[in-house]
Every structure is written in structure tokens, then in C-alpha cells.
Amino acid sequence: MPYKILEKKELGKSGVLFEIILSTPLIAKKAHAGNFILLRINETGERFPLTIADYDRDEGTITIVFQVVGKSTKQLSHLNIGDEILDVVGPLGNKIHIQKYEHPVILIGGGVGIAPIYPQAKELKEAGNTVICILGARNTDLLFWREKLRSVSDELIICTDDGTEGIKGVVTEPLKNIIIRRKISIVVAIGPLIMMKYVARTTDGSGDLPKVKTYASLNTIMIDGTGMCGGCRFTTVQGEIYHSCVDGPDVDAHMVDFDNLLNRATRFVDQEKESLEQYEDECRALNKFKNEGC
């Protein structure tokens, strides 16, 4: 059963961030914050995971947000309203930490990780929590969903590396300031591995700051998404091995050996680059007589 694209839009001004709304009635019926799906664009495409960024049970739709980084996301960005995706499997992933907490909760989204904190913020707010969201990006062109997140936040803080919007600096600076002055029940970080590593270091109680229960989403390292390929395995600081697709994707950030994970995260860079270059060459060859871009 193909899945139709109902809406598509470009996010920000970077030219690499896109939002797509898909008709997936059965998936939307069961979706929750933290879940992900597996996509296969066509019969020759690879399977790859994307986090569910929003869902509408009444309309039977889910929203995905992705950044163009390789062949498959490039192909996905070329699809338009009315086009169909061959396979969408989900919702996958474990139910997460949605409950009423005694103290405020902090959700941190970095880059494209801004999208998956939205359903978590929404469900945590519906559960009666005080929600603080911190958004981080390299610059203002890579920021999106500000008002969407503001609607489910008691406080919204924006950080950019270059200072083009909000606070100049990284997300751990406002995080430190908040946990110094008030008690926090949980912190959730979704974004680049390096960002989640330093969020975990900030909240692990090893310095002058109090320890705060922290979750990191390891969806970025998934490949197969079912626990069979082993590509998403990660090592804890105690040397235990887990798989983010079946044990997560949200996991206790303080148990993750992020240094090991960062080293392994680059293992397919050459293959991904080669695959993307081949796809772009084929695309240019097909379109050279139409004067169209790839």
C-alpha cells in the first residue's frame, strides 16, 4: 500500500530542511511521542528511519521532518504533493517518559532534532507539566517550528552558534542557568551526538551542578530499525551493549559512552558520499535536456 504525500514544505532558509505530511491512518492511530517509522521510497531504495515529528489521529496523518544529508533524503526531498512512498512501517520504538512530574521538564532540540521534541513537549504539557524548551542551531536559517513549540511550552529559549537569533552560544549555557536556580525533574535532548554528549555531561552531577535524570534520543544511528543489523548498537560506560532501535530510541543519557558512539558514527561516511554522488550524476544525466536541477 503506497503512502501519499499530502503536504510538503521547506523549513527555514537553508534549502536542506523539509517537512512532509503523509497519509498513514493506521500508524497515526497508534503513534506516540518518541516513535519512529521506517521508509522505503521505491523498490530499489534503502530502508531508513525517521522520527515521527507530529501525528493527527483524526486526519490519519503523520508529519516527518528531515535534513538532506545523503542519497535517500535527497530522493525524498524531490518528491512532491500527490507522490507516493512505497513503504512506511511503524510506529516503532518504546513508549517514553510521559507522566506528571513534580518539577518542570526541559526539552532540548538541536538542528533537525527540534522536530521530534515537539510531540514530547505536547504530550508532557497535556500531562500537566511545566515545559521548558531550548532550541539550538548553527544560525537562524536552520531554525524552525518556533511558534509550534511556543504553543506547548511555558518557556522557549533559542540559541544560535553565530548569534543571529536568540542567545549566542550552545544549548548547555541556558541549561546550566536553569538547573542552578530551580529543580528540574527530567531533561530530554534530541539532536547531534556531540550536543547530547555535552548535555549529558552538564546534568550527570560530576561537576558543581546537581544531577538531573536525562534522556538522549539515539535515532540518528539507526539503520535497519528492527535490531537485526546491529548498526545501532551502543556501548554504555559500564561496557554493556544495547541497540537504540529496540532499547530506545530514548535512553538514559548518563549511561551512554558518547566517545565510542562518536567514533563509530562516521563509519559509513565514504559509502554515503559515493552513493550520493552517483545519484546526482544520474539525476543530472536524466535532466540535462530539460534544463532542470537535480
pLDDT digits (tens, 9 = 90+) for 26-63: 999 999 999 999 999 999 888 888 999 999 999 999 99
Q: Are 241 and 218 in contact (CB under 8 A)?
A: no
CA distance linking residue 19 with residue 66, whole number of Å: 7
Low pLDDT (below 50) residues in the chain = 291-293
CB atoms within 10 A of CB 205: 11
CA distance linking residue 38 with residue 229, whole number of Å: 14
What's residue 276's pLDDT? 63
Q: Which residue segments constitute the domains of the chain, with CATH numbers given?
A: 3-92 (2.40.30.10), 105-264 (3.40.50.80)
What's residue 27's pLDDT? 96
What's residue 227's pLDDT? 63
Strand-pairing partners, residue 106, are 132, 187
